[in-house]
Amino acid sequence: MKKPLCLLISMLLLGCSHAVMVTPIVSPVALKLIDQKIEGNIAIFIPPELAELSKVVEPHSRYCSTTNFPLEAGQSIKATLIKTAQSVFKNCRPVDSVPQNHGFDGILAAELLDFDVDLKFTDGTWSGTAESWVEMNILLTFYDAKLTPIWRSVVGYSKKDFADAGRTCGGGAVAISRSMEQCLKNVSILMAEKIADSNKIKVTLARASRS
């Protein structure tokens, strides 16, 4: 029996689960975009629907069709957004809620607009290939001390990546992880660039420091 056919049979019959590991990451490019940290006492708020984002990815292909890939994406996205904000603002800390008497000069809030993950497997001469595609878009809103929104921007990215399928289809988790981490890198770049270039945020915080 030829090796590709053996691979196909094993992929079709094998039903298992491979957890996707995603490392929070801020691109070095994002850090280079920041000439000087913005002054101010800032809170960053990540809502539970984003922080707890998860999904089980199922391949859209006949290969590895009985294998699934649990993805806990929220904590990695949350950590990346917080690390990026702390790189832009001189004093920034995460909060779980924002009461009326919060004591901050400004609040940066994130909202998930969309998050899509696709995965498929194809066979090859010697082994199968896992192909993943991830897209995410996040709305950032900056509020002044009175909780009035003064700035909004969307940061997002989409990325396709590949990995060897592996004997138990575990390459799918590797491919998804690579796509996710590239998305996070580019989201951090866009986030750092847009906040650092925002005169509205800088003026608002400058006024807060004088009041």
Q: For residue range 48-80, what is the model confidence (pLDDT) as tens digits?
A: 999 999 999 999 999 899 999 999 999 999 999
The proportion of the chain whose per-residue pLDDT surpasses 70, expressed as a percent, equals 91
Mean pLDDT of 162-188: 96
The encoded tokens of residue 64 equal 């590895």
Ranges assigned E (strand) in the chain: 38-45, 54-57, 69-72, 89-95, 106-122, 129-144, 149-164
Looking from the CA of 201 toward its CB, the CA atoms found within 13 Å total 26
Whether domain 17-210 has CATH 3.40.50: the reply is yes
State how far the Cα of 41 lies from the Cα of 39, in Å rounded to an integer. 7
Domain boundaries, the chain: 17-210
Dist CA 58 CA 169 (whole Å): 12
pLDDT-based confidence at residue 2 (cuts at 50, 70, 90): very low
- The pTM for the full model equals 0.90
Does residue 6 carry a pLDDT above 50? no
Q: What is the predicted pLDDT for the residue at 126?
A: 52
Going by DSSP bridges, is the β-strand pair 38-45/89-95 parallel, antiparallel, or unpaired?
parallel
CA dihedral (46, 185, 171, 159) in degrees, to 10, reads: 100
* Average pLDDT value over all residues in the chain: 92
Q: pLDDT tens digits for 100-155?
A: 889 999 999 999 999 999 999 998 545 799 999 999 999 999 999 999 999 999 99
Greater pLDDT, 208 or 73: 73
Residue 115 to residue 156: CA distance in whole angstroms: 10
State the average pLDDT over residues 173-179.
98
Tell me the pLDDT band of 15, cut-offs 50, 70 and 90: low
Strands 38-45 and 129-144: unpaired
Question: Residue 149 in contact with residue 143, Cβ under 8 Å?
Answer: yes
Distance CA 155, CA 188 (A): 8
